[in-house]
Amino acid sequence: MSDRATLSYAGQDYELPVIVGTEDERAVSIEKLRADSGLITLDDGYANTGSCISNITFIDGERGILRYRGYPIEELAEHSTFIETAYLIIFGELPTEKQLGEFRNLLAEHMFIHEAMRHHFEGFPPNAPPMAILSAMINTLGCFEPVLTQPEQDNRFIEAAARLISKVRTVAAAAYKKSIGDPIIYPRFDLGYTANFLHMMFCKPNKVCRPDAAVERALDQIFILHADHEQNCSTSTVRMVGSSQANLYASVAAGVCALWGPLHGGANVAVINMLESIRASGESIPDFVARIKDKKAHARLMGFGHRVYKNYDPRARLIKQSCDQVLSRQGIQDPLLEIALQLEEVALKDPYFIERKLYPNVDFYSGIIMRAAGVPLDMFTVLFAIGRLPGWIANWREVHLNPNARIYRPRQVYNGPTQRQYVPIAERGG
């Protein structure tokens, strides 16, 4: 197969190199196109634009494949832990026992936030969205670092990564405690990453509680399944901000804001709101689906559809299994799960969804597990952010380690008024 593509325009041929990835993905490089022909490419929403060459995560959306650093998501979800997966995503290899032990020690060492940061929480109104607090507090964490780490220094970068991963969990739980008016709970040295998060979320100074092992495992698995997803909206944001040489904290804080939106990480909240509204209204599932299909309604089946997956999202399949296990183990019968199962069944048989290749995505069932774990609705996307942190860190590092790195700066096709003369205010009428 040719490693060049030819573009013909205005009677002239332009040769464009074809870049081939390790999974045989092919991309036409247009780096020199404008210089040679005056043309740029236009792809609103970047639906068919490769923004970088990356070694971190591979997705084949047609076949429903997701791999971190070559390892299938199914194997990691079954055998790995979030912390081991985080190490893999950031540093490229599964850690040895010694490396994992050292990483865990670093996480434990950095689990506390600076005492002065406790006062920052006082400044937010009680109903402040936790995603806003999280983003602000990640930038605040950066202010408490005397020297911000350079990604080239591997021995210090591991510490920077551990510090951020560990402290974000403490900040997230503290934000929740503040929102309900409870005292902030300190992390414990004897608990692992996810157990510690549950401890800080749900224990009280006068109530010792040991997180349920099944819930801990389900949540750890949710973190694994969210840990990276190549060039999605929030990761692209982190890379974009990082490309200006902005520090890790500033870049990740921007990623949190991007994740917040209901078309991205905020969909896990939107799914539960949608299921609740169906339950409250008593609307039949076929009627609801018919309403979604009516373009005039401008409604979407939340938790369905994906820019890249045109097949069942492998993460949704795993979360659905875990959902069944957690609910049956806890003896919970969640009516929202029943509604979700019916919605999926009806949608997957409907030509509208079949033709558009719309399947459940990662957010369709994740909220039901979080509800079962007692996580309040407004913390769902925060949990997504905790899970996505390794991916953001790895992508930020990749941008910084790229010897050919340039600031991210797309072009546009301007379609506004052409040049006109300034009109003094007295002559503008009205």
Q: Which residues bind ligand ACO (CB under 6 A)?
A: 45, 232, 263-265, 267, 292, 300-307, 356, 358, 361-363
Token couple for 189:
């040295």
Distance (Å, whole) CA 326 – CA 334: 11
Report the Cα 258 to chain-centroid distance in Å: 9
Residue of minimal Cβ distance to ligand ACO: 305
Helix residue ranges per DSSP H, 180-313: 193-202, 213-226, 233-242, 248-260, 267-281, 285-293
Sign, Cα dihedral of 161, 163, 166, 170: negative
* CB of 133 or CB of 292, closer to ligand ACO: 292
Amino acid, single-letter form, for residue 137: M
- Least distance in Å: CB of 291 to ligand ACO? 10
Distance (Å, whole) CA 248 – CA 251: 5
- Least distance in Å: CB of 264 to ligand ACO? 4
* CB of 188 or CB of 264, closer to ligand ACO: 264
- Least distance in Å: CB of 398 to ligand ACO? 20
Token couple for 44:
């609103």
- Least distance in Å: CB of 99 to ligand ACO? 30
CB atoms within 10 A of CB 72: 14
Distance (Å, whole) CA 260 – CA 45: 18
The active-site residue out of 306, 313, 350, 400 is 306
Distance (Å, whole) CA 216 – CA 192: 10
* CB of 246 or CB of 318, closer to ligand ACO: 318
Q: 212 an active-site residue? A: no
* CB of 211 or CB of 303, closer to ligand ACO: 303
- Least distance in Å: CB of 384 to ligand ACO? 7
Distance (Å, whole) CA 314 – CA 335: 24
Amino acid, single-letter form, for residue 362: V
Contact assessment for residue 172 and residue 376, using Cβ atoms and an 8 Å cutoff: no
Q: 229 an active-site residue? A: no
The active-site residue out of 110, 212, 363, 400 is 363
- Least distance in Å: CB of 240 to ligand ACO? 17
172: left (phi over 0), alpha (psi -120 to 50) or beta: alpha
Active site residues: 306, 363
